[in-house]
Amino acid sequence: MSQSNELTLSREDIVRLSERVEGAQTRAYAIPKLTDEYPAMTIADGYAVQSELRRRYLAAGHRLVGWKAGLTSKAKMQQMGVNVPSIGFLTDRMARPENSAISTADLVHPRVECEVAFVMKKDLHGPGCTREDVLDATDYVLPAVEIIDSRFSGFKFDLASVIADNGSSARFVGGGRARYFEELDLRTLGVVMEKNGETVAMGASAAVLGHPAEAIAMLVNILADMGEHLPAGSFVMSGGITEAIPVKPGDSVVARFQELGSVSMRFV
């Protein structure tokens, strides 16, 4: 992948790659990372493909409900071999209720992550958005589990490819107890992830860029680079606190958050 952040793909390439990613996402099959064919692809190219993918889903009737910051913890960056966070969009079709049975038949190789989610009460615009701006615009926070599913073979990709694949977004579950952030120390929230009754990961929210609101500010500033903003009412996930844990049919997962309750689901 090129280190430059210029757009190198033609409009035709962007549309072709977005169709390729959409096919892999909607029919749940793995594809080679996009940089195998386009080695000069940049981060800007990745976001151009992601924006076209979003345009296609919205044109097909999906509703944009929010955004997610990804690759925001050292554990995640190390796990995936990248060094810059990313963002992706969330639609109504990705949401699943708490305590539900989540089908894996329509996913390639799902993994789960514990995240602090924010619900916004004011629009936020970058550039220059700060942690304080995010907190001022936050209505409440709640615990969430993101089910990511890279569409790239063997979960092997680089940043440009994973951004084009909408940051591996697949499903998400919000739940637990919604709280006003003023009542909490958002930096030091502990989380324990259990799979089939065993603790498989644990961490504290400071793992997310020092404070989860920093991840939301980063997301708003990336949106500004794309000429967009974060609207009031958005549901925004701030990124996995621990590394992502693989799941398969038969697994049950509980994410227990200090002060925020727990979020449960099972996989079928």
| In the complex, least distance from residue 39 CB atom to Mg ion, rounded to whole angstroms | 27
Q: 216: which residues sit within 8 A by CB, 6+ positions away?
A: 69, 118, 124, 134, 230, 236, 238
Q: Is 239 in the site for ligand 0L1 (CB under 6 A)?
A: yes
Nearer to ligand 0L1, 174 or 239 (CB): 239
Q: Which does 25 bind (CB under 5 to 8 A by kind): Mg ion, ligand 0L1, none?
A: none
Give 231-267 as a DSSP string. Answer: -TT-EEE---SS--EE--TT-EEEEEETTTEEEEEEE
Dist. CA 268–CA 252, nearest whole Å: 9
Distance CA 156, CA 14 (A): 21
205 binds ligand 0L1 (CB under 6 A): no
Stretch that binds Mg ion, among 125-133, 139-147, 183-191, 211-219 (CB under 5 A): 139-147
Q: Does 113 bind Mg ion (CB under 5 A)?
A: yes
Q: Cα(21)–Cα(166) distance, rounded to whole angstroms? A: 9
By CB under 6 A, tell whether 158 contacts ligand 0L1: no
Yes or no: say if 194 and 83 are a contact pair by the CB < 8 Å rule: no
**CB 225 to ligand 0L1: min, Å:** 18
Report the distance separating Cα 27 and Cα 102, nearest Å: 16
Whose structure tokens read 């944009």? 64
Segment interacting with ligand 0L1 (CB under 6 A) among 66-74, 89-97, 133-141, 194-202: 66-74
Sign of the C-alpha dihedral, residues 80, 71, 113, 229? negative
d(CA 153, CA 142): 32
Per CB under 5 A, the list member of 66, 126, 212, 240 interacting with Mg ion is 240
**What CA–CA distance (Å, rounded) separates 212 from 207?**
8
- Nearest distance from residue 238's CB to ligand 0L1, in Å? 10
- Span 5-34, contacts to Mg ion by CB under 5 A: none
In the complex with Mg ion, the residue whose CB is nearer, 111 or 179, is 111
Which among 48-56, 120-128, 178-186, 240-248 is the span making contact with Mg ion, rule CB under 5 A?
240-248
112 strand-pairing partners: 147, 245
49 binds ligand 0L1 (CB under 6 A): no
Taking CB under 6 A as the binding criterion, the range among 3-11, 128-136, 192-200, 237-245 that sits at the site for ligand 0L1 is 237-245
Residue closer to ligand 0L1 (CB basis): 32 or 122: 32
Q: Are strands 261-267 and 252-257 parallel, antiparallel or unpaired?
A: antiparallel
The correct pick among 18, 138, 150, 242 for binding ligand 0L1 (CB under 6 A) is 150
Tokens of 109: 């190789």
> What residue is closest to ligand 0L1 based on CB?
70
146 near ligand 0L1, rule: CB under 6 A? yes
Residues that bind ligand 0L1 (CB under 6 A): 68, 70-71, 76, 80, 113, 146, 148, 150, 162, 167-168, 239-240, 244
